[in-house]
Structure 1
Amino acid sequence: MDKIPMTRAGFTALDDELKTLKTVERPAVIRSIAEAREHGDLSENAEYHAAREKQSFIEGRIKELEAILSLAEVIDPAKLSGSIKFGATVTILDEETEEERTYQIVGEAEADIEAGLLNIKSPLARALIGKDEGDSIEVKTPGGERGYEVVSVRFV
């Protein structure tokens, strides 16, 4: 399988989530299941079914995180330079609204647009890759094409 690029911060966050699921959440749900079993008839025991459902979610997330982390290729953006690429922190200017936004281009598993972490596979990130400060880009969005200017590129 292909490696999954991610920053050190993204790797650490996913690893911390995995540890929490294994050491806190999993034991807690096992206790909940045991307590619910003590209440008797499992066929009509809502607590038991809810706990089993939560256990299923936790186990699924653990498997997902283990798979992602096993394929992770941690990239240190501070060691990079040049035009925009994975790990770059980019400030762009919306040419229509004159609004500046700053994003770091990160891997799919760590992307969070609200936190300024832009998925490398997103249309905006794909349009930014290879560009430099001062370049303009056009991005197709559901609301039509948007124009942006690259204000700054940093690797931190």
Structure 2
Amino acid sequence: MMNLDSKDEQQEEISEINVTPFIDVMLVLLIIFMVTIPLATVNIPLNLPAISEEKQENTGTPVILSLDAQKQLFLGNDQISFEDLVEKIDIATQKNKDIVIFFRIDNSVQYEEMMRIMNLLRGAGYLKIGLVGLDQATDYAK
């Protein structure tokens, strides 16, 4: 007579997760990222030329947003707070999200501050943001 119960006791199921395939996939992804990341970073210093073309006629009043060296925000000539930015832009543009907002930033303002404001504008639906700079190539050399 054969005892089937003894075989079942000897062949218990292993309840551990086999992580070997996971490790294999992760190593392949690591190799892919190690190869592609150096190709994605461009580290070429460029001296970009200034554009000197004729100025075009403005059909309406431009919406100009400015950030000065003291991190004060201005809409036109009026100082506004960061909290009121979206509300004031909505009033100035009459909630027209297709209007280009011209953004002037002082040279000493850190990149993070500029991106903070641009993220606020993007979150409000304003995707057309024009960064205002200098017109002449001689101004870049200063």
Scaled by the length of structure 1, what TM-score is found?
A: 0.25
Scaled by the length of structure 2, what TM-score is found?
A: 0.27
| Structure having the larger proportion of residues in helix | 1
- Considering only CA atoms, is the larger Rg found in Structure 1 or Structure 2? 2
